[in-house]
Chain A
């Protein structure tokens, strides 16, 4: 049973391959100039390195953001089209979950981006809403609250988390944007 995890919610392209409950391989490209150029070749590369065909994948998990609109959309589009064409289960998690799943106690979690941060209270799951704070607001928020920003992935926790997620309809998987569209303000 092979699970492919795809995360392109910000500047990094993160592709992880699990065999059953074990990390099999990972391809991480930091700070890419162009998510569209890097993501599919990175997926193909990890499959080839492990002598797998795309049809060997049994399950897809994708990070739906929040993060960069276009970055997230690339990973989500690839993931949902893979799940739809291969007719395999798809599950989703957020960029907040990726940090929060590592915590033992309730805390605020922040996903940083260029001009601000997405924050949420986390205790095994997101409590309440994810909010977007501009950098200055976020600095102020950090004065009164402890916030976890460490976004290194814990692969054991990740595959456990993935296995507890409910399967979704691939057609209906969409990015989680949180931020409103600038032009409509």
Chain B
């Protein structure tokens, strides 16, 4: 079969990215322009700033990705773009640019769900998703255990009943006066800390649902009380204590899923899959049950266009193309693709 090259664009949050992906797997080129140093000043992503920065750098990023690929836009088989979920004003910059590329080069336009992108990041390079598979989707907006039957046929088995795990990481980081983005900073500090704070274990049940707001509140209260008493909080120890409890809960729920759904394959997806403790613990779990585990390489865990190209590939094969009236959607039922 002829090789399929997809030019992909991602602009759903605070990274403007473009990539050339071969056969949904090989990263021919990838360009990521991050805005993190700008949003750091505000302690989180300011949507209008994000949109402005996307529109400033979109053609530079496209130009860089195609040049680095050594190919021409005419050589592409399709143009893919993230259309949901994300910041609407930001999504629209990528969407309109992708429409223009599709029109000028007469290539089909493929609308990709950002969360599907995180899942299909597990098809990039040496990784690949083997169906059926269990999946853990963990990001700033999502915490779900899913069952992957086959391409774009995913079932949610359990999810957070309140806060997403990435959101809790950001909140805890803020309470500890750590810079945005909180996740990597907590992960880094936790390595030098001891599990010395007694934090509540979330939901001790056997369901696949999760809850993290209680853990979050207890940390906020504990830090507040210690500050009132004039006691110094050890950021390293708090980061470690929190991370231990949070990751253990995710892994414990995955173990329940493994026991309920006999599978030979498991994937982790979403920004929090960059977390070193989660990666280690998931590998231990996979080894214990002799399950093949796929976690994207670190640079494909955070937002990037390579994963959008990977997720576009099955849609290309099914000829699921979009029209020029494609609109962005800030929220979506992520598992109805």
Taking beta carbons and an 8 Å cutoff, which residues of A are in contact with B? 34, 36-41, 44, 54-55, 69-70, 73-74, 76-78, 80-82, 84-86, 170-171, 174-175, 177, 181-184
Question: Of B42, B47, B73, B96, which is within 8 A of A40 by CB?
Answer: B96
User: Is the pair B48, A85 in contact by a Cβ cutoff of 8 Å?
Assistant: no
Chain A residue nearest to B101 in the complex (CB) = A85
Given A36-B92, A54-B103, A69-B89, verify A77-B328 contact (CB < 8 Å).
Answer: no
B129 contacts the other chain (Cβ, under 8 Å)?
A: no
Q: Any chain A CB within 8 A of the CB of B306?
A: no
Name the contact of B92 in the complex, choosing from A38, A70, A170 (C-beta under 8 A): A70
Interface residues of B in 306-331 (CB under 8 A from A): 323-328
Interface string of B39-80 (1 = CB under 8 A from A): 000100011110110011011101100000000010000000
Of the residues A40, A54, A171, A182, contact of B59 by C-beta under 8 Å? A171
- Residue B96 contacts which of A69, A74, A170 (CB distance < 8 angstroms)? A74
Q: Is there an interface contact between A183 and B46, defined as CB atoms closer than 8 Å?
A: yes
Q: DSSP majority for the A interface?
A: helix
Nearest-neighbour CB distance to chain A for B256, whole angstroms, equals 41
CB proximity of B163 to chain A, nearest CB, Å: 22
Are the CB atoms of B51 and A73 closer together than 8 Å? yes
Question: Given contacts A170-B59, A174-B56, is CB(A78)–CB(B51) below 8 Å?
Answer: no
10 smallest CB-CB distances across A and B, nearest first, come from: A81-B100, A40-B324, A77-B96, A84-B59, A81-B97, A85-B104, A181-B48, A37-B325, A40-B99, A171-B59
Give CA–CA (A37, B325) in the complex, Å.
4
Q: In the complex, how many angstroms separate the beta carbon of B85 from the nearest chain A beta carbon?
A: 16
Between-chain CB contacts (< 8 Å), 16 pairs: A36-B95, A36-B327, A40-B100, A41-B323, A44-B103, A69-B52, A73-B92, A77-B92, A77-B97, A78-B97, A81-B62, A81-B100, A81-B101, A86-B104, A170-B59, A174-B55
Q: Are A38 and B325 in contact (CB under 8 A)?
A: yes
A74: B residues at CB distance < 8 A: 92, 96
A73 engages B327 (CB within 8 Å): no
Do A69 and B51 have beta carbons less than 8 Å apart?
Answer: yes
Check A80/B59 contact, CB under 8 A, given A54-B103, A85-B104. yes
In whole angstroms, what is the CA distance A40 to B58 when docked?
A: 17
Q: How far is the CB of B252 from chain A (nearest CB, A)?
A: 38
Number of interface residues of B (CB under 8 A): 34
Chain B contacts for A77, CB-based, 8 A = 55, 58, 92-93, 96-97
B76-120: which residues lie under 8 A (CB-CB) from chain A? 88-89, 92-93, 95-97, 99-101, 103-105
Contacts of B62 in A (CB 8 A): 81, 84
Which residues on A sit within 8 Å (CB–CB) of B99?
Answer: 40, 78
Q: Are A182 and B92 in contact, CB atoms less than 8 angstroms apart?
A: no
| Residue from the list A70, A80, A81 in contact with B88, Cβ < 8 A | A70
Chain B residues close to A by CB (< 8 Å): 42, 46-49, 51-52, 55-56, 58-60, 62-63, 73, 88-89, 92-93, 95-97, 99-101, 103-105, 323-328
Q: Is B55 in contact with A175, judged by CB distance below 8 angstroms?
A: yes
Determine how close the nearest CB of chain B comes to the CB of A139; give it in whole angstroms: 27
Determine if A78 and B96 form an interchain contact, defined as CB atoms under 8 angstroms apart. Answer: yes
A35 to B63 CA separation, bound complex (whole angstroms) = 25
Q: Which one of A76, A82, A84, A182 lies within 8 Å of B63 (CB-CB)?
A: A84
Nearest Cβ on chain A to B40's Cβ, whole angstroms: 14
A181 touches which one: B46, B60, B100, B326 (CB < 8 A)?
Answer: B46
Q: What residues of chain A lie closer than 8 Å to B46, measured between beta carbons?
A: 181, 183-184
Give chain A residues whose Cβ lies under 8 Å from the Cβ of B73.
85
Residues of chain A contacted by B323 (CB below 8 angstroms): 41
Q: Which of chain A's residues have a CB closer than 8 A to the CB of B59? A: 80-81, 84, 170-171
> A residues within 8 A CB of B328?
36
User: Are B325's CB and A40's CB within 8 A?
Assistant: yes
Q: Are B100 and A85 in contact (CB under 8 A)?
A: yes
Contact B104 A55, beta carbon cutoff 8 Å = yes
Q: Knowing A84-B62, A184-B46, say if A40 contacts B103 (CB, 8 Å).
A: yes
Contact at B63–A181, with CB atoms within 8 Å? Answer: no
Q: What is the distance, in angstroms, from B34's C-beta to the closest C-beta of chain A?
A: 18
In chain A, what residue has the closest Cβ to B98?
Answer: A81
With a cutoff of 8 Å between Cβ atoms, the chain A residues found around residue B89 in the complex are 69-70, 73
Q: How far apart are the CA atoms of A171 and B56 in the complex, in Å? A: 7
B49, A54: Cβ atoms closer than 8 Å: no
Please, how many angstroms separate the alpha-carbon atoms of A80 and B58 in the complex?
A: 9
Taking CB atoms, residues of chain A closer than 8 Å to B60 are 171
Distance in angstroms between the alpha carbons of A77 and B93 in the assembled complex: 6
Measured CB to CB, the closest approach of chain A to B46, in angstroms, equals 5
Which chain A residues lie closer than 8 Å to B105 at the CB level? 85
Contact A41 B325 (CB under 8 A): yes
Cα–Cα, bound, A3→B184 (Å): 49
Which chain A residue lies CB-closest to B92?
A: A36
